[in-house]
Amino acid sequence: MRHLLLSLLMLLAAPACAQDLAQVLDANRAQIEQPSRQTIAPVIEALAAAGPQAGAVLEAWADRRLGLADGRFVIVQGDEAVDAVTGAAVRGEVRVLRPNSGVRGIIGAALVQFQLSDPDPSRRAAALDAIARRSDETHLAALRAAGNDPDPALAVRKARLERLLTIRFDPDPQARVDAIEAFSGDTGADLQAVLNPLLATTRIAAPTIPGQANVAAELIPGDDIPQDEAYRLLVEAGLAPARLAPDAQKQALSAHIVEGTVGGVPVAELSDPARRDTAYDALAEVGLVPPAATAAEAEAALSGHRFADIYAEPNAQITDAARRALNAMALRQGAQQTADLALDALSLASIYFLAAIGLAITFGVMGVINMAHGEFIMMGAYTGYVVQTLIAGRTLSLIVALPAAFIVTFLAGVVLYRLVIRHLVKRPLETLLATFGLSIALQQIAKNIFGTQARPLTAPAWLEGSVGFGEIVSISTIRVAIFVLALMFLGLFLWIMNRTRLGLEVRAVTQNPGMAASMGINPDRIAMLTFGLGSGIAGIAGVAIGLFAKVTSELGSDYIVQSFMTVVVGGVGNIWGTLAGAALIGGLQKGIEVINPANTLAAQTWMILLIIIFIQFRPRGIMPTRGRAAEA
């Protein structure tokens, strides 16, 4: 409607053209009132040439909104009507013109051309959109006739559209092939939508393959298509009689039971398929049932006919070009998806790294497996949730939640160490079980406090959305943030271990506890701090994971096995090993998902199997602790 008002305004501004329009309308009044498809073309051309305001008239005509009132042409707008030439409101009875669909098609084509040369760029863009949505061969001519668009962006679009339509509608095959080849390197969805139908095939069965058919592939029954399927094609094409289905046979047999026998075969023997055939054949011989095609006949029918997929597009040159173009396109898309996948794997690896780093510290430094590590992750996530319910601002609450989670889980770790782990020194398996007991208790406590339903931990607005690279590759901002967080922790860990007193003491205790103790280092205190540190990092990982996963009491157990795998695969006591382990596991999981995208369960199964096999060859992980100590 806005277009219409706009053009009406322009109508007032250009009275000279209005005169033309009025003349053309008057001159062709009869034709316009009673249009016929054969003769209307010159009228429409004349109208189209009558200046830009004529567009409104044509549009209205095509929409069955053009009418006559008191001998004047009016355009109906809802309940009102305006004069088609002057734009003045008209009262009175309006007789609306009803052109048939053939005429409307011709009007539409003229209208497109008209709109394509409209002075208003937004109308020209709208016209292009309309063509891109639904097009037929008349549009191709219109596009070509419209010439170059003054707006460079629109000109590009128009040229592209023209080439797409050339592929579909140009009568000259060479022009179509050229157009396809001109698109080389393009991966646009519109191009795919044009190319794919060109390769549509139908499956036929015939005594011989028609000479003019554009054959996609000839099919050998039994190899390329199942024999049953091939025979079904024959039946559908009327080239062979339908075979007797077991159900039909059974029905026919049960319909002809005579004194406990069918065709001379006792009913009790009919559980044998061979006996059923005998009975049926006997019935067929006396004409009670139609004879069924035998296996030999079916075989002969299959070998006597040929089966093929035939392109709907008869020209082989075009289908070849389209297939080449689509293959190239698939290749490029594959490359882009690989890049996307690499990013996905990277973010997954950072999550595993975050989840595993605390575990690696406690396991690597103290040789203690903390089965409750997953529950520390969960504790961190719930801390984040609680902080968020207390502090309104999301950014602020996140800033508070990170250290809060660290403190909570650090304290939990220290308490766990003092109460349990220090009493189980040198009994790794019992530590594993005791911490497991704690893990079931913690999980249930969380369930009792927070309920079983998932709690949201909402990310601040600036972490929502995604960062894009190119058309297909994009990665959500949260995942980038987690990657950054993982890097920060790597840096932090390296700094603590290599640059601080604590790190020095930790390394001393790891290498030789007795010697360290004699140097005045308290191994118990160091172990406690290390354990607290590992647990604290788990808490922060929990906040990070909670930002994109639902916070439930099972959050930790979802990650614990992968975390263990990361540590075990990476090798104990080496942060770079943990990093390599996380990268391997993240990459492996994503990689397997590509091979079998529909089935993430299968991906996980295979990943675990691969890891079990990997452990066979590197029992001490990717980066093992080396030296004589390792051999002992």
Q: How many residues bind other proteins (CB under 8 A)?
A: 59
Q: What is the CA radius of gyration of the chain?
A: 39
Q: Could you tell me the smallest distance in angstroms from the CB atom of residue 245 to other proteins?
A: 12
Candidate list 66, 253, 355, 543; residue touching other proteins; CB under 8 A: 253
Q: Which helix (H) or strand (E) holds 201?
A: strand 201-206
Give the DSSP letter of residue 619.
T
**295 binding other proteins? (CB under 8 A):** no
Q: Could you tell me the smallest distance in angstroms from the CB atom of residue 435 to other proteins?
A: 8
Site string for other proteins, 550-589 (x = CB under 8 A): -------x---x--xx--x---------------------
**227 binding other proteins? (CB under 8 A):** no
Those residues with Cβ within 8 angstroms of residue 573's Cβ, 6 or more apart along the chain or in another chain: 364, 365, 510, 625
Nearest to 522 by CA among 506, 503, 498, 536: 506
Q: Could you tell me the smallest distance in angstroms from the CB atom of residue 61 to other proteins?
A: 55
Nearest to 562 by CA among 402, 360, 379, 414: 360
Candidate list 16, 30, 429, 461; residue touching other proteins; CB under 8 A: 429
Q: Tokens 């969805």 correspond to what residue?
A: 189
**626 binding other proteins? (CB under 8 A):** yes
Decide: helix, strand or coil at residue 185: coil
Those residues with Cβ within 8 angstroms of residue 377's Cβ, 6 or more apart along the chain or in another chain: 355, 538, 539, 541, 542, 545, 555, 556, 559
Distance separating alpha carbons of residues 521 and 617, to the nearest angstrom: 38
Q: Could you tell me the smallest distance in angstroms from the CB atom of residue 367 to other proteins?
A: 8
Sole window of 128-136, 182-190, 328-336, 418-426 interacting with other proteins (rule: CB under 8 A): 418-426
**261 binding other proteins? (CB under 8 A):** no
Q: Identify whether the C-beta of residue 350 lies closer than 8 Å to the C-beta of residue 490.
A: no
**423 binding other proteins? (CB under 8 A):** yes
**608 binding other proteins? (CB under 8 A):** yes
**377 binding other proteins? (CB under 8 A):** no
**612 binding other proteins? (CB under 8 A):** yes
**339 binding other proteins? (CB under 8 A):** no
Decide: helix, strand or coil at residue 515: helix
Nearest to 590 by CA among 345, 380, 370: 345
Strand partners, 202: 310
Site for other proteins in 457-516 (CB under 8 A): none
Q: Could you tell me the smallest distance in angstroms from the CB atom of residue 627 to other proteins?
A: 5
Neighbours of 14 (CB within 10 A): 15
**426 binding other proteins? (CB under 8 A):** no
**172 binding other proteins? (CB under 8 A):** no
Q: Could you tell me the smallest distance in angstroms from the CB atom of residue 409 to other proteins?
A: 18
Distance separating alpha carbons of residues 547 and 549, to the nearest angstrom: 6
SS3 content of the chain, % helix, strand, coil (to 5): 65, 10, 25
Q: Could you tell me the smallest distance in angstroms from the CB atom of residue 250 to other proteins?
A: 5
**369 binding other proteins? (CB under 8 A):** yes
Q: Identify whether the C-beta of residue 283 lies closer than 8 Å to the C-beta of residue 292.
A: no
* Binding stretches for other proteins (CB under 8 A): 246, 250, 253-254, 257, 262, 267-268, 270-273, 276, 363, 369, 420, 423-424, 428-430, 432-434, 436-445, 447-448, 557, 561, 564-565, 568, 599, 601-602, 604-605, 608-609, 611-613, 615-617, 619, 626-628, 631
